[in-house]
Amino acid sequence: MPIRENLLLKRNNCTRKTLTPQTAKGTIFDIQRFSVHDGPGIRTTIFLKGCTLRCFWCQNPEGIHLKPEVMFYPDRCIYCGNCLLACPNKAHVVKEDAHVFLREKCTACGKCAQTCYAGALVLVGREMTVDEVVDEVLRDKVFYETSGGGVTLSGGDPIVQYSFSRALLKKCKKVGLHTAIETAANCQWKILASLLPMLDLVMMDIKHVDSEKHKKATGVSNKIILNNAVRLSKTKKPLILRVPIIPGFNDTKSEVEAIAEFVKEFSNLEYLELLPFHRLGEGKYKALGLEYSASNLAVPAKEKMRELSEAVKKLGIKVRGN
Amino acid sequence: MELTYEQRLEALCKTKMQQTREKQEVLLVMDQDDHGRILPSPEFREITEYMGPSGEMVRDAKLNNFKPKSNHPSGGFFGAKACGENFNLFLKAHPVYINPMSSLAGGYMAYFMGYRNPSWPPELASNLEDEQRKYGVYPGIGATQHFCQDMTIGFKLGWGGLLRKIRRYRKLNPEKSDFYDGLEQVVLGVQDWIRRHVEVAREMAKKEKNPTLRRNLEEIAEINEWLISKPPRTFREACQWTVWYQMIARMYNGSGSMGQIDVWLKPYYERESAAGTLTDEEAIFHLACLLLNDTQYYQLGGPDGEGKDTTNKVSFLVLEAVHRLKAPANIGIRVFDGLNPELLRRGVEIMFEDKTGFPKFLGDKGLVEGFVKNGYSVQLARQRVYSGCHWFAIPGREYTLNDCVKINFTKVFEVAFWDMMNDSEIKPSVDELWSRFKKHLHRAVEVTKEGLDFHMKNMHKVFPELVLDLLCYGTIEKGLDASNGGVEYYNLCIDGSGLATVADSFAAVEQRVEKEGLLTWQQLAEHLKNDFKDAENVRLMLSSVPRYGRGGTRADQWAIRIVQAFTKFVKEKPTPAGFNVIPGLFSWASMISMGQTVGATPNGRHAHAPISHGASPDPGFLRGGSAPTAMAVAVVSVQCGYGNAAPLQLDMDLGLARGEEGLAKVEALIKGHFELGGTMINMNVIDKKQILKAHQDPSKYPNLIVRVTGFSAYFASLSKNLRQLVVDRILEEET
């Protein structure tokens, strides 16, 4: 899989010049209210498009690329023909009584999705200003207060649109919200460091300590990631480290123990969280016209997850696992 | 062999399940609370059918050994004396029921209301019917109960004391003899009924071999012999007295309102607990027996008049009793800043552990601040306690008609729409539609108020509140029925229904017709007339407009405007006769029957499909989820704000409350909604797989309990339509 959003993050659509809350724009693919499984309290999670990794099991494939994309759910199509008329590039055709989406012709202008009332065509990735996002986030302010929750930037990876992320976090802090980020931290340290002052919590993934294996499964080496983890551990910022448990990649006791060993001395580590692989993202691959390489993987058994959690616990690390 | 409380409770629950199964087999559909009612045995049983609240035929079982005496050419019976005398005869015909496992005697088998035929004297017909039908008004004319007595009056006087009180005031108000006759007949009837139980308990005790049960039956005989005329002395006697009262209240006219059980049982519990004569296990057992007898509405915790928390040990014991029963119960925890946090936590724990839709949560702040706006003191507002589906009343002092009076907003919208389209003088527009909607809504409110006056003028002559009147302040003293000036306060309810359907309809026409010009008014009218036949695309175009509930949408703004207009019309003046009216939003289970009278609507709803539920957004208002916080914020934004509720209905996934942290998050959701001014939360905890399987074959899941609207019910007992609605909500969450 080609990696377009590379380490240099050249495609970041947000330059310093545009950084006011009214004009700074980010590409968002979802805003999830009442997010209760990621971080403390009741949270609103902002999903930003763009990621530097290409994990083959990725559960949010619509978050991988920075640019907007059209998702197509043929089952919902009612053959009204609106998209045929709306598309300037003739990307929608009817062949043998079936609606065929010629993705290679699509420029993701979104005109088809706009007229697809049946919801068969959905544009993922809409540009929003910092103020627009914060307006939506503030709708649940009272629940952040009663629960100790706040806002979480996720994705994709929020570091891809780091300038926008910074502007957004800044505004969130200004209005008094608890802020968190979910990141793979595969970026220059200075990018991460520039976000830290506006963050109350960092949630970071560590997928493997073996660089070769990491590269094979995610498309990138883990060198920068591990370095960043160590540097993060030297800050006082509360840190939650998360390990997606992927069968055949990192689901052995020794592999999980190696990660635990690596983070053992991190004094700011709140806990290590083991997240079992699941296949809930499979339908989205199909809708994006992508192949799903994890379709043959089994969901880790509860017993397995318990065993891995126990192994981490034995090393004296606080652990959470489902 | 001696039996433990645990063994006895297990046996009682088993019997309850058999009785429920029998009801499901004989009555087929029960679109209402699963009352504790027991079917009369086949030799006493007569099956009848009538139209139920969701528009389906409902089967009921009557006692075949009671035939009412008519005092009217129509064949019906009307007025206090006739109603009292007939109820007395009804009680005489009612079989005795004693389950030797239970510490409390009694079980009720039939509804007296079913014998009222006709239920209204033809010469008293109202002339408002046509107009009320035009606006889809459920006028509440002839509606019974739906307010709350004060149980402590009964605890103080007992049946004998009540009889003496009636006779004393009869002398002072000789011209009210008809009313006193009615009341007296009720008390004499219940005394006789209790007496028969004493005799049967004695006979059963003689034959009983098990020592625990024999002792229990002897105690039942002794306790009830005392209770025939004297007030209860002990915790168990207070529970037994409550059983008699709640059974006659339920049988006479369906009343299920009880109020603050933890407050009135507290002195008995504390006295005996301190003396070492009552253990918590025993107290829980008596409470469980009481709750098995019927699914009455109770409030737990909450402030007293001065704002001090009323939570006490009994509050926890009631929760525990329901937890052990795992049967339908209607108990609400009143949440306020001063509430014992352990009570709320225990309530949330039980909600997720039992998955029976119990307890519900009540928002004190919004309720009190709202009620005060009617001109009452904060002290009084705090005493207005939870006693029915979505409603509150001041025990013994207030008459309300809560949950009986509804205006179908969607019907009003339909009238306004066609009124505009058929007017050749004007050009249709959203402004014009809104102005006509307001005009018709105003008239709908007025004609509803006129109907309330009609009810208030006549109800006492037709079917007075002879059971609730016994435990009110002023009714016996003045010789007046509660519906006729007997009590102190009159705050009559008017609820709006179908808010989301109308708000989304306004948003859809505004966006698709007026702003985008994708459809002309005439085209829209044709599609509505044809119920979107061959125009699924148009229907989807209309229904895909961002809906009420999402936050910041046109539809959200419309919802607020509609509620503001409704509230203004209700509150601008009292009824013509001067009764205060309080607006709220609630549709009970009437979404189906109300929808049946309304054609297709511009939000893409098909003709005769159900309308939206209470203050809730339509399912699917948020694509890809149903964030409880989004619903909570939306429902707060449409509170009418005068102390009557607009409940938030949440079906929560079981996975949400995992562990300590999960429970705390649910608690935070509850507190946040109430902090913003929310008034009530009905929560269902859903095990999705289970409920989908149950929908396919309900008979395999006779135990599954869901909260339908303001009440919990066995899923298998619900009509197919109502089950479908519950299932639809859950499916929407999955996509």
Interface probe for B, chosen from A29, A31, A32, A34 (most Cβ of B below 10 Å), is A34
- DSSP secondary structure of B290-334: HHHH---EEEES-B-TTS-B---HHHHHHHHHHHHH-S--EEEEE
Q: For residue B47, list its beta bridge partners.
A: B61
Show the tokens assigned to B380.
């009084």
Going by DSSP bridges, is the β-strand pair A201-205/B705-707 parallel, antiparallel, or unpaired? unpaired
pLDDT of residue B31: 58
Partner residue opposite B676 with nearest CB, options A30, A142, A147: A142
Give the whole-angstrom CA distance, residue B732 versus residue B735: 6
- DSSP secondary structure of B374-417: TT--HHHHHT-EEEETTEEE-TTTEE--TTT-EEEHHHHHHHHH
Confidence of residue B35 (pLDDT cuts 50, 70, 90): confident
Give the whole-angstrom CA distance, residue A56 versus residue A293: 6
Q: For residue B681, list its beta bridge partners.
A: B361, B648
Average pLDDT over residues A262-275: 96
Confidence of residue B727 (pLDDT cuts 50, 70, 90): confident
pLDDT of residue B730: 63
pLDDT of residue B57: 66
Average pLDDT over residues B175-182: 98
Identify the weakest region by mean pLDDT among B43-52, B172-181, B196-205, B398-407.
B43-52
Which DSSP letter does residue B68 get?
P
Show the tokens assigned to B339.
């509430």
If you average pLDDT over every residue of chain A, what do you get? 92
Residues of chain B contacting residue A146, judged by C-beta atoms under 8 Å apart: 667-669, 671-672, 675
pTM: 0.93
**Residue B541 C-alpha, separation from nearest chain A C-alpha, in angstroms:** 5
Confidence of residue B694 (pLDDT cuts 50, 70, 90): confident
Which H or E element spans position A131? Answer: helix A130-138
Interface probe for B, chosen from A31, A36, A134 (most Cβ of B below 10 Å), is A36
Rg, chain B, Cα only? 26
Which DSSP letter does residue B112 get?
G
- DSSP secondary structure of B386-397: EEETTEEE-TTT
**Residue B341 C-alpha, separation from nearest chain A C-alpha, in angstroms:** 13
pLDDT of residue A278: 84
B145 contacts B257 by C-beta, under 8 angstroms: yes
Closest to B553 (Cα-Cα) out of A135, A116, A112, A110: A135
A191-228: pLDDT as tens digits: 999 999 999 999 999 999 999 999 999 999 999 999 99
Residue predicted with more confidence, B328 or B101: B101
- Burial, B158: exposed, middle or buried (Cβ in 10 Å; 0-12, 13-18, 19+)? buried
pLDDT of residue A223: 97
pLDDT of residue B702: 61
**What 3 state SS string does B451-478 have?**
HHHHHHHHHHHHCCCCCHHHHCCCHHHH
Q: What are phi and psi of A196, to 5 degrees?
A: -55, -40
Residues of chain A contacting residue B675, judged by C-beta atoms under 8 Å apart: 142, 145-146
B371-395 as b/e: b if 16+ CB within 10 A: bbebebeeebbbbbbbbbbbbbbbb
Chain B interface residues facing chain A, Cβ-Cβ under 8 Å?
A: 536-537, 540-541, 543-544, 551-552, 623-625, 627-630, 632-633, 656, 662, 664-665, 667-669, 671-672, 675-676
pLDDT of residue A4: 42
B608-621: pLDDT as tens digits: 999 998 898 887 77
**Residue count (chain A):** 322
Confidence of residue A17 (pLDDT cuts 50, 70, 90): very low
A119-162: pLDDT as tens digits: 999 999 999 999 999 999 999 999 999 999 999 999 999 999 99
Confidence of residue B52 (pLDDT cuts 50, 70, 90): low
Residues of chain A contacting residue B662, judged by C-beta atoms under 8 Å apart: 36
A139/B630 Cβ within 8 A: yes
pLDDT of residue B726: 72
Residues of chain A contacting residue B665, judged by C-beta atoms under 8 Å apart: 36, 41-42, 147, 149
Q: Is the pLDDT of residue B680 over 90?
A: yes
Residues of chain A contacting residue B545, judged by C-beta atoms under 8 Å apart: none
Residue in the block written with tokens 């065509």: A121
Q: Is the pLDDT of residue B61 over 60?
A: yes
Q: How do the domains of chain A map onto residue ranges?
A: 16-66+125-321, 69-123
pLDDT of residue A5: 45
**Residue A117 C-alpha, separation from nearest chain B C-alpha, in angstroms:** 5
Q: What share of chain A is helix, strand, coil (3-state, %, to 5)?
A: 35, 20, 45
Q: What share of chain B is helix, strand, coil (3-state, %, to 5)?
A: 55, 10, 35
Angle, nearest 10°, between helix axes B235-253 and B177-207?
120
Same fold, A16-66+125-321 and A69-123: no
Q: For residue A202, list its beta bridge partners.
A: A181, A239
Give the whole-angstrom CA distance, residue A182 versus residue A147: 20
**Residue A222 C-alpha, separation from nearest chain B C-alpha, in angstroms:** 33
Q: Is the pLDDT of residue B636 over 90?
A: yes
B466-516: pLDDT as tens digits: 999 999 999 999 999 999 999 999 999 999 999 999 999 999 999 999 999
Closest to B257 (Cα-Cα) out of B115, B489, B465, B85: B465
The CATH architecture that domain A69-123 belongs to is 2-Layer Sandwich (3.30)
B470 contacts B189 by C-beta, under 8 angstroms: no
Residue in the block written with tokens 């930037």: A153
Residues of chain B contacting residue A320, judged by C-beta atoms under 8 Å apart: none
Chain A interface residues facing chain B, Cβ-Cβ under 8 Å?
A: 30, 32-34, 36, 41-42, 78, 80, 82, 117-119, 135-136, 139-140, 142-143, 145-149
Closest to B711 (Cα-Cα) out of B457, B474, B391: B391
A120 contacts A112 by C-beta, under 8 angstroms: no
Partner residue opposite A142 with nearest CB, options B625, B627, B672: B672
Percent of all residues in chain B with a pLDDT value above 90, rounded to a whole number: 80
A82-111: pLDDT as tens digits: 999 999 999 999 999 899 999 999 999 999
Distances (CA, A) of B614 to A120, B360, B393, B416, B618: 31, 16, 20, 21, 10
- For residue B153, how many other CB atoms are within 10 A of its CB? 18
Give the whole-angstrom CA distance, residue A54 versus residue A207: 12
Average pLDDT over residues B452-468: 98
Identify the weakest region by mean pLDDT among A131-145, A250-264, B49-63, B672-686.
B49-63
A298 contacts A246 by C-beta, under 8 angstroms: no
Going by DSSP bridges, is the β-strand pair B137-138/B406-408 parallel, antiparallel, or unpaired? antiparallel
B669/A139 Cβ within 8 A: no
Angle, nearest 10°, between helix axes B280-293 and B313-325?
60
B559 contacts B553 by C-beta, under 8 angstroms: no
**Residue A254 C-alpha, separation from nearest chain B C-alpha, in angstroms:** 28
Average pLDDT over residues B278-301: 97
CB pairs under 8 A between A and B: 74
B540/A78 Cβ within 8 A: yes
A174 contacts A186 by C-beta, under 8 angstroms: no
Alpha helices (runs of H) in chain A, residue ranges in sequence order: 82-86, 111-115, 130-138, 141-147, 162-174, 189-195, 211-218, 223-233, 253-263, 282-287, 302-314
pLDDT of residue B579: 98
Which DSSP letter does residue B510 get?
I
Show the tokens assigned to A51.
């990621």
B627/A119 Cβ within 8 A: no
* Closest residue, chain A, to B630 (C-alpha): A33
The predicted complex's ipTM stands at: 0.91
For chain A, give the longest Cα–Cα distance: 63
Which H or E element spans position B627? Answer: none
How far from each other are the two terminal CA atoms of chain A, in whole angstroms? 30
Going by DSSP bridges, is the β-strand pair A98-101/A92-95 parallel, antiparallel, or unpaired? antiparallel
Show the tokens assigned to B58.
């409902």
Cis-peptide, bond into residue A156, ω within 30° of zero: yes
pLDDT of residue A35: 86
Closest to B593 (Cα-Cα) out of B340, B464, B406: B406
CATH topology for the A16-66+125-321 domain: TIM Barrel (3.20.20)
Residues of chain A contacting residue B540, judged by C-beta atoms under 8 Å apart: 78, 117-119
Alpha helices (runs of H) in A252-317, residue ranges in sequence order: 253-263, 282-287, 302-314
Residues of chain A contacting residue B656, judged by C-beta atoms under 8 Å apart: 36
B193 contacts B94 by C-beta, under 8 angstroms: yes
Residues of chain B contacting residue A145, judged by C-beta atoms under 8 Å apart: 672, 675
A148 contacts A39 by C-beta, under 8 angstroms: no
Give the whole-angstrom CA distance, residue B438 versus residue B6: 59
Closest to B288 (Cα-Cα) out of B351, B214, B236: B236
Identify the weakest region by mean pLDDT among A222-231, A245-254, B660-669.
B660-669
Q: Kindly give, in sequence order, each residue whose CB lies less than 8 Å from that of residue A271, ignoring residues fewer than 6 positions away.
A: A240, A317, A318, A319, A320
Rg, chain A, Cα only? 20
B503 contacts B562 by C-beta, under 8 angstroms: yes
B644 contacts B391 by C-beta, under 8 angstroms: yes
pLDDT of residue B703: 57
Give the whole-angstrom CA distance, residue B361 versus residue B358: 9
